[in-house]
Amino acid sequence: MLLRALSGGYIPPVRGNDPVRTPDALPTGGNLYGLDPQKIPYWDAYLNGKKMAEEALKSYNTTPSQLGVVLWATETQRDSGATIGFILYLMGLEPIYQQGYQSGNVLGVKAIPLSELGRPRVDVLVTISGIFRETFPQCTVLLDRAFRIAVAASYNTLLAEINKETIAEQLKAALNATMMTIQKAGLFVPGSDPLEMNYIAKHWLEDTKKLLQAGVPAEDAGKMAISRIFGPAIGEWGAKGVREGPQLAWTWNDRLELADTYIHDMQYAYREDEQATPLGEVFTMRLSDVEGVYHSRSTNVRGILDLDHNYEFLGGFGIAVEKMSGKAPQLFILNQIGAEPHVETLSKFINRDLQTKLYNPQWIIEMMKEGYAGASYLSGQFIDNMVGWEVLRPDSITDEMWNNVVDIYLKDKYNLGVTEWLSIGNNAYAMIGITGKLLTMAHKGFWHTDDGTLRLVANTWAKLIAEHGVSCCDCSCGNIAMMQWAMQYVNPDLLARVKAQIYAATRSAAFASQETPDTWNPDTSSNPGGQHGGVSPGETWNTHPSGSSQTGGSPATPGAASQSATPGETGETAPSGQGRAYEVSEMGRSSASATGLPLYAVFGVIALVALLGAGYFLKKP
C-alpha cells in the first residue's frame, strides 16, 4: 500500500478506531476515516451517554448540583459522541437531528421537560484537550449552546427573580447577552423551570452577581458566567505543569501546589462568541462546586497507566476541585471498552490495569522479549504513571500496590528472572528509575513500608548507580533531598561508590567526600559513553533552579523547573534548601560535527551532488 501511495495510486478508504472494538480497522494502511463530526453525538451514542448518566447519578444520595467531565478528541472519535451525550443528558437535554431523522446531522439541542426528566438539571464543567479544540470545534459550539439552552429553560423564572434585585437592569442586560447566540441560531425557547430544579441557571445567576459586584460590565458578566468549557491556551495542548510535577517531587512541598499549575494551564474559556479567554475566576467558582469528575476510556490498546495524559486531565481536574472546595471529588471512568458502556470508579479501573499488565507474569515475559524498550516502558510508563496518580489522587494507589511492585520486580516473585534482567546492561537504568521512584514515594510519605523493604530498594538502587552511573532521572540526578534521605538505608560498603557517582553528576556538596578535589575533569564520566548518565568529553553541565518559572511571565510552576531551558543555557543558582537538577548540553563542537555528520560524509554528499549535476547536463541534447 505504501508503494501504491508513493506511485500516486488509489488508496481505498478503511475504518479507523480501536481494532478490538472495530475489527474492520484491520489491516491498517488504507485511507483512514472515522466519523462525520456533523452527526455528533450519533443517536445510539447519545443513548449510551444517557444510560451512563443515569448510572452515574445513582452514586449520589441527592442529585449533585455540579459534575465535571473530561473531553478528548480520541475518545470522541471512538465513542461517536457518547461522552457528549452523557453531558447533554446530565443537563436534561437531547439532540435535534436534521428533518427529524436520528441518522441526520445534529442541528442543535432541546430541553427535556422536567416532568419527563424527573430530576433537576445538573450543571457540568467541561475540560477539553487541545486536540479536541482543533478536531471538533463544532462540538464545542454545540455544547456552548447547550449550556445557554439549559439556562433558557428557566428564562421566565430568572426574569422574575431579577426583577426583585436592585441591579435588575444590569442582570437583564447580562441575561439577554447570554441568550444572544442561541437566538441567532433559532434555538431560544424560554421556559419556567424553578431554579432549584435547574442548577445551570441557578449557578449562572449567582456567578453573574459576583462578577457584577467585581465591576465587570453587565454583558460581559453574563457571557463569562455561562462559560463551562475550559482548556489550554491556543497553541497549548494540556496541563503541562500537573503532568510533569509529580515526577519532579523536589519542586513542591504540598501536593496541592500542583492544583495551581492545573488551574493556570486550563483556565481558558471556549465559547461560540469568544475563544481561549483566560477566566480563572469563573473556572475556580465552578470547580468549587464539583462533586464528581468523569473521563472516558474506550480502547483496548492502552490502559489508564499506559499514558500520563490520563492523570494529567482527570487527576489534575480532581486535585483542582480538591484545592478549591477543600474536599476531593469522586473520580470515575466511563468504561466504553466493551459492548455495554458503564461507569466504574477510578480505583477499580487502575487495579484491573495493574492485574492485567504490570502484575501479569505473561505480560512481563513479553516485555522482557523487547529488551531495553520493554524495561524502559515498565519504568517510564507504568511506574511513572503510578507516581502521577499517587500524587494527584493518593487513595487510587495503595501501599499494597507498591509492595507488589517490590515483590515482582525486586524479589522476582514469579521466578521469571526479571530482577536480573532489569539489572544488566542498559536495563539497569530502568531499574534505577523504578527503585528511585519507590524511594521518592516513601520519602514523600505516600508509600508506607518497613525498614527491611526500604533497605532492599535503596541498596538495589545504590548498587546499580555505583556500577552503571546515574540515569539522570530525578531520582538519581535531581532530587537531592530524597537521595540524602535514602543514604541511611544503603549498606556502608556501597556508600562511597554511590556518593561518588552522584557527586560526579550533581556536584552537590552533600555527596562530596573529603578527598574530592575542588576542580573536576569532565572527561571522567560516571557512565562511559554518556548515553544514560554522566558527562562525555566535550559536554558541560547546566544547572536549573528547582522552582524557576515558566516563560511568558507565568507564575512559578512546580514541576516545570527546566521546561523553558534550552541546551547551552546557563541556569540560576537553586534557592536555599533546594536541590539542583542538571542537564547535559553539547558545547564547543566544530561546525561539521554539529550536524551529526563526519567530514568524509559531508564530502561524499558534495561529490554525489556534483555527479548528479554532471549527469544531468551531459544527458541534455
Euclidean distance between CA atoms 320 and 348, whole angstroms: 22
141's grid cell: 459550539
Give the cell for residue 85. 451525550
As a whole number of angstroms, the distance between CA 245 and CA 388 comes to 8
Q: What is the mean pLDDT of residues 346-358?
A: 97
Residue matched to cell numbers 534550552? 566
- Give the pLDDT score at 37: 87
Percent of the chain clearing pLDDT 90 (strictly above) = 74
In the predicted structure, residue 541 carries a pLDDT above the cut 50: no
Residue 317 CA to residue 322 CA, distance in Å, equals: 9
CA–CA distance, 260 with 316 (Å, rounded to integer): 10
How much is the average pLDDT of 390-406?
98
Q: Which parts of 407-555 are beta strand (E)? A: 539-544
Q: Do residues 115 and 73 lie in contact, with contact meaning Cβ atoms separated by under 8 Å?
A: no
pLDDT band at 537; cut points 50, 70, 90:
very low
Q: Provide the 10 A C-beta neighbour count for residue 483.
A: 32
Q: Is the CA virtual torsion 47, 51, 53, 54 positive or negative?
A: positive
Spatial distance between the Cα atoms of 14 and 322, rounded to a whole number of angstroms: 44
pLDDT in tens, 261-312: 999 999 999 999 999 999 999 999 999 999 999 999 999 889 999 999 999 9
Grid-cell match 437566538, residue found: 183
Mean pLDDT score, 361-389: 97
Instruction: State which amino acid sits at residue 162.
Output: I
Centre a 10 Å sphere on the Cβ of residue 516 and count the other Cβ atoms it contains: 15
The model's pTM is: 0.82
Q: In the structure, what pLDDT confidence band is assigned to residue 409 with cuts at 50, 70 and 90? A: very high
- Non-local (6+) Cβ contacts of 246 within 8 A are 258, 311, 387, 388, 390, 391, 392, 559
Residue 514 has pLDDT above 90, yes or no: no
Task: Look at the block and give the residue holding cell 535514602.
Answer: 486
> Average pLDDT in the 495-504 region?
96
Write the single-letter amino acid at 392. L
Say what the pLDDT of residue 599 is.
60
Where is average pLDDT lowest: 183-187, 206-210, 359-363, 534-538? 534-538
Q: Please give the average per-residue pLDDT across 513-529, as a whole number.
A: 45
Tens-place pLDDT, residues 42-56: 999 999 999 999 999
Mean pLDDT of 40-69: 97
Instruction: Give yes or no for residue 526 having a pLDDT over 80.
Output: no
Model confidence band, residue 601 (pLDDT cutoffs 50, 70, 90): low
Residues 93-131: tens digit of each pLDDT = 999 999 777 778 999 999 999 999 999 999 999 999 999
Alpha-carbon span 249 to 35, nearest angstrom: 42
Cell numbers for 207? 456567578
User: According to the 3-state scheme, what is the secondary structure of 381-435?
Assistant: HHHHHHHHHHHHCHHHCCHHHHHHHHHHHHCCCCCCCHHHHCCCCCHHHHHHHHH
Locate 420 and state its grid cell.
Answer: 536480573
Cell of 21: 472494538
Confidence at 574, pLDDT banded by 50, 70, 90: very low
Q: Render pLDDT for 174-189 as a digit per residue (tens, 0 to 9).
A: 999 999 999 999 999 9
Average confidence (pLDDT) over 519-528: 37
529 torsion bin: left (phi>0), alpha (psi -120 to 50), beta (else): left
Enclosing H/E stretch for 461: helix 451-468
pLDDT at 285: 98
C-alpha 266/C-alpha 229 separation (Å) is: 10
The answer to whether the Cα torsion of 43, 47, 50, 56 is positive or negative is negative
**Do 533 and 526 form a contact (C-beta atoms < 8 A)?**
yes
For the cut 90, the answer to whether the pLDDT of residue 577 exceeds it is no
Question: Contact 95/149 with Cβ under 8 angstroms?
Answer: no
Q: Which residue has the higher pLDDT, 20 or 7?
A: 7
What local confidence, expressed as pLDDT, does residue 29 receive?
Answer: 80
Q: Across 239-358, where does the E strand assignment appear?
A: 268-271, 274-278, 292-297, 330-335, 342-345
pLDDT of residue 268: 98
- How would residue 447 be classed by pLDDT, with cut points 50, 70 and 90? very high
**Which residues are 127's β-sheet partners?**
70, 230
Distances (CA, A) of 568 to 160, 244, 583, 597: 65, 22, 9, 20
Question: In whole angstroms, what is the distance from residue 408 CA to residue 416 CA?
Answer: 9
pLDDT band at 367 (very low <50, low <70, confident <90, very high): very high
pLDDT digits (tens, 9 = 90+) for 560-573: 433 333 323 333 33
Instruction: Give the model's pLDDT for residue 612.
Output: 60
Q: What is the pLDDT of residues 155-208, one digit of tens each?
A: 999 999 999 999 999 999 999 999 999 999 999 999 999 999 999 999 999 999
Q: Are 208 and 174 in contact (CB under 8 A)?
A: yes
Report the DSSP pairing between strands 123-128 and 539-544: unpaired
User: Which DSSP string do the residues of 216-239 spell out, in sequence order?
Assistant: --HHHHHHHHT--EEEPPTT--S-
Q: Is the pLDDT of residue 385 over 70?
A: yes
What pLDDT score was predicted for residue 586? 35
| pLDDT on residue 329 | 98
Q: In whole angstroms, how far apart are CA 72 and each of 84, 313, 388?
A: 10, 9, 19
Average per-residue pLDDT for the chain: 86
**Whole-angstrom Cα distance, residue 374 to residue 385?**
16
Instruction: Answer whether 584's CB lies under 8 Å from 531's CB.
Output: no
